[in-house]
């Protein structure tokens, strides 16, 4: 299968995550257009983005499994906020269990990316090479309203480093985990 023929659903919290995922997939060689990409993102003012993703995750997994999943892919972005990446992934597993579904399998093209704190943590690291992921004022990085594409150069660099297995060892642990997730997914797309 070629990456150009993959139907992609992106489930994410906000526009910044959407832009991040879009540029990342495009750099990885996916033909990104309205015919093959569906975006499911949180509408501001109706709760929390993290809750939106958690709430819709089981339904999106069910839909992925219902369709011919060999030609599809589900990409999930959810912030860990003050929780751990592991705890956030466990919450998504629990959403599947609650919905009477099996946990995500290694051979399924379901990619989950969990920035510690928020996506701006990764963007700050990609722009400066420095970041603090732990809780506290030092780990709060500014958002980029109306300038979400500011992440594009860093995302392109990240896509190259992840695919080559050359991410800097000083990268935040949640970003290292995201690159491992990409490495798990790539062989499934060939």
Kindly report the pTM of this predicted structure.
0.90
Domain count along the chain: 1
Distance CA 94, CA 86 (A): 12
Look up residue 11 and give its two tokens: 């489930």
Radius of gyration from C-alpha coordinates of the chain: 16
pLDDT tens over the chain, length 190 residues: 445 567 899 999 999 999 999 999 888 888 788 888 999 998 765 558 889 999 999 999 999 998 766 678 999 999 998 899 999 999 999 999 999 999 999 999 999 999 998 999 999 999 999 888 776 656 678 889 899 999 999 999 998 898 888 898 889 999 999 998 888 887 777 6
Strands of the sheet containing 7-12, edge to edge, are 37-41, 7-12, 72-77, 110-113
Domain that holds residue 56: 3-189
């Amino acid at each position: 299968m070629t990456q150009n023929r993959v139907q992609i659903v992106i489930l994410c919290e906000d526009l910044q995550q959407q832009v991040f995922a879009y540029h990342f997939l495009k750099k990885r060689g996916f033909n990104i257009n309205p015919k093959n990409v569906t975006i499911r993102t949180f509408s501001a003012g109706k709760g929390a983005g993290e809750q939106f993703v958690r709430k819709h995750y089981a339904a999106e997994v069910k839909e992925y499994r219902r369709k011919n999943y060999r030609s599809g892919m589900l990409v999930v972005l959810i912030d860990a906020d003050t929780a751990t990446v592991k705890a956030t992934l466990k919450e998504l597993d629990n959403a599947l269990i609650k919905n009477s579904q099996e946990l995500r399998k290694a051979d399924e093209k379901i990619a989950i990316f969990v920035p510690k704190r928020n996506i701006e943590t990764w963007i700050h690291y990609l722009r400066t090479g420095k970041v603090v992921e732990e809780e506290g004022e030092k780990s709060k990085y500014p958002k980029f309203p109306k300038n979400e594409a500011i992440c594009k150069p860093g995302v392109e660099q990240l896509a190259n480093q992840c695919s080559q297995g050359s991410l800097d060892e000083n990268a935040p642990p949640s970003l290292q985990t995201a690159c491992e997730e990409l490495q798990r997914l790539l062989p499934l797309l060939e």
